[in-house]
Chain A
Amino acid sequence: MNGKTPKAQGFRQSQAGLHTWTGLLVGWILYLIFLSGAVSYWREEITRWTQPEIGATHDVETVARGAIAHLQTVAPKAASWSIALPDERASGATATFREKARPAPRRGVDPNAVTIGPDGKVVQPRDTEGGDVFYRLHFDLRYVPVIWGRWVAGFCAMFMLVAIVSGVITHKKIFADFFTFRPGKGQRSWLDGHNALAVLALPFHAMITYTGLVTLMVLYVPWGVAANYPSKTAYYAQSITRAKPVKPTGEAAALADIGAVLKTAERAWEGGHAGLIRIDAPNDVAARITLTRRASDTLVDGRWEIVFEGVTGQIRSQVAPSSSGMIARGGMIGLHAGRFAPMTLRWLFFLSGLAGTAMVATGLVLWIAKRRQKLADPSRPHFGFRLVERLNIGAIAGLPAAMAVFLWANRLLPTGMAGRGDWEVHVMFIAWSGLLLHGFARPPRRGWIEQLALTAVLLAGLPAFNLVATQRGIVSSLMAGDMSMAVMDLVLLGLGAAFAAMAFGVARHRPAVPKVRTPRPAPTAPNAAQPMAARQPEEVEA
């Protein structure tokens, strides 16, 4: 490769090769990471949608009081209580307690945890992972040990970074083609679309990939820690200081009013809000209340804490992110996760995330479109071509369908079912496996049409089902002023319509330049795999 090409075009050519193959190798996983990441900007909203039993939270103080009242009745002598409070986007609080002052298990179901509804009463929502499914999938993947998932995600992100840089270098006319999209021209259109999606959202793509690596940097680049600390535990012990356990005296005393404590914290944080209440040794003279600030409060993801005397409600101590390194890292994590983002910004993040998803998808399809022209015998493409072509169907059209299946499982599985929350996820992956196989079993063109249409029906059917079969249809959500439920239904409908348009586009698409080939029907029609460019076929002629 090095010696054969002239030097002038050698560098860009080499970057093109690098871009193509780095992109292809991790493309399908990147697609999954991008799509699950984009929808994770609505993690709280999805969780709310999957637990319609809990209504919208209007007043956090009511919820906090309700949680404490519940804990007073079930565990007045516990070692500690903790209450995770909702923010504007979430609903309901989680209240739990610990009998003894030892750390809780990191994972698994907490038998003491209950959900407190907006009215301060205990509610029993259906068992589901909600929006956390997609959030976890985004960097942990699934069915593999978490650490492996994170290494794979990091590997893909590193390749993505390489693909971004080499893509920019190899793009011939990044400014001249800035506003250019020529539909209905096969490979040309795919390249235009891929370029437009990449260039227009380039700040987002670069930011999200880089900061994504930063979120798990201690895992990927452990040497800084290894060089400066005797062990990982020592590093965490210093960087995440934990309060010493409180020893109860045995002398009973009433707790300070939680409403007043919350207000004091709000003043100390200059308008900030508590996300987590932890009460050590409740109902004891030595009681201590620790408030942790909401992650959605500040751009910098970091630990803000205020510790109060449990009985008097006086501030004992405060913690805020201080070292510039921690603030820089926290800022990047905050930027990546967008927890801070106000609604408009959140939409911009989401749309940019979808642009990234579509960029990866168009890149994968482009690989096929580019090679289709050069096939020696189009009716019998080689193995690699067929593999990529078929995987594209089940990945690009199949994953959104499977994600919709998750939401359907959430609505349809019986509420009392054992392991219900897990089965929602199993059903999603069973559906996805089926669709991946379907992509191989059907002729590619039919495969695209069927899967895109299926995705459209699954997505658009959800709001319809909500309207007809549940109490939380779009009409009642709007009447109740519950905007996030209503908007989620509308977005599902809109996405369904978009997939329907793509399915119709592929179905109506007639290849512009029919190549001479053996008279076999549709199966390997050139450009069959072109849902997006095919959307406006008649305009091409106009």
Chain B
Amino acid sequence: MTLLAFLFCMGGFAALSLAMPRHHAALVGGPLASRRRLGLKLAGWSGLALGLAASLAAWGLAWGVIGWLGLLTTAAAPVLLAHTWWPRAKP
């Protein structure tokens, strides 16, 4: 359940980051249509919300919120690193 929460958070952050024109251009290329942007944002926030739900399910109310915040930190880090090195790895 913890792993699931982590994956939800990471997926959420990945979608949110791709909803940002700069990162979208670097990783996907091409212009970011406003409908796609909205979709990505929606998906991103839902991912984070699902992460919270899974954290609550894993740890209960008091520790779930704390755990979720911790997962947000650790889940955002790989997304950040991906944005740093992924575009460079592409030819």
Contacts and interface: CB of A to CB of B under 8 A. Distances in A.
Interface residues of B, number: 26
A503 to B, nearest CB: 21
B79 to A, nearest CB: 6
A201 B70 CA distance: 8
Given A203-B69, A348-B71, A179 B63 contact: no
A335 B70 CA distance: 12
Contacts of A176: 20, 22
A204 B88 contact: no
A345 B70 contact: yes
A352 B75 CA distance: 12
A139 B38 CA distance: 47
Interface string B69-90: 1111110110111011100100
A181 interface: yes
Contact of A352 (B13, B17, B20, B73): B73
Interface string A508-542: 00000000000000000000000000001001001
A539 B81 CA distance: 13
Contacts of A178: 17, 76, 80
A348 to B, nearest CB: 3
A179 B20 contact: yes
A344 B2 contact: yes
Contacts of B74: 348, 351
Contact of A179 (B59, B70, B76): B76
A203 B73 contact: yes
B28 to A, nearest CB: 14
A493 interface: no
B4 interface: no
B67 interface: yes
B66 interface: yes
A149 B62 CA distance: 32
A95 interface: no
A299 B23 contact: no
Interface in B15-33: 17, 20, 22-23
Nearest to B82: A179
Contacts of B72: 200, 203
A181 B80 contact: yes
Interface string A156-184: 00000000000000000000101111110
Closest 10 CB pairs between A and B? A348-B70, A203-B69, A179-B17, A181-B84, A201-B73, A179-B83, A200-B76, A179-B80, A344-B2, A200-B73
